[in-house]
Amino acid sequence: MRRILQPFRWFWHVLWTPAGTLGLGFLTLGGFVGGVVFWGAFNTALEFTNTEGFCISCHEMRDNVYEEMSHTVHYSNRSGVRAGCPACHVPHDWTDKIARKMQASKEVWGSIFGTIDTRQEFLEHRLVMAKREWARLKANDSLECRNCHSAIAMDLGRQAPRAAEIHTKYLLSGERTCIECHQGIAHELPDMTGVDPGWTVPPELQGEVLPGMTEAEEVRSYLGQLP
């Protein structure tokens, strides 16, 4: 029995033998507690930077894109569900969120050095910034859009015929992704002169009269009265 307990006694002795001035056990425990504190502080800071208040703390965002978004259906609608800045620009999964935060560090750099400090500078850089964001969303299959919108959960029967047909043929099949058709959904578009729109109405849906709701159906849909 003594031989069995001897290794454990040796380990316990080594664990608490002073290493210079502090015991190894104390250093291990201190390292663990320090790691927990660091991890908690890191995640707290991460979540703080993931709030709308933080996003619009600089006037470049508050006076430009946020002001535009406040006049769209993403900000105010009949259901009362509002999408804030992080909902559309930051993925929910932790690893994707960290990657996005690293990308967003460029925005902090731009704010410090006043890249878009004035409205005119913002408008001059708008197309470049928009193209960068469209390309990012296209590359990740509109991951942030899917924070709230799920193709599986779509009730196609409540959509306009053209929208239902396009979603069925292109979205559900994975041939296209959200951002290709919904650019400018929450912010004003830049000057698109000479810019490839990225997606156009397919030939089978083109014509003088496009399928869609009648005026009466649009009113009923707005009032939430369609079945």
Task: Work out whether the CA dihedral 103, 193, 176, 157 comes out positive or negative.
Answer: positive
91, 100 contact by CB (below 8 A): yes
91, 141 contact by CB (below 8 A): no
| 88 in a known ligand binding site | yes
| 187 in a known ligand binding site | yes
| 55 in a known ligand binding site | yes
| 61 in a known ligand binding site | yes
| 149 in a known ligand binding site | yes
| 121 in a known ligand binding site | no
| 71 in a known ligand binding site | no
| 52 in a known ligand binding site | no
| 47 in a known ligand binding site | no
Structure tokens at 112: 């410090």
| 107 in a known ligand binding site | yes
Binding-site entries = 55, 58, 61, 85, 88-89, 107, 145, 148-149, 178, 181-182, 187
Residues of each annotated binding site for heme: 55, 58, 61, 85, 88-89, 107, 145, 148-149, 178, 181-182, 187
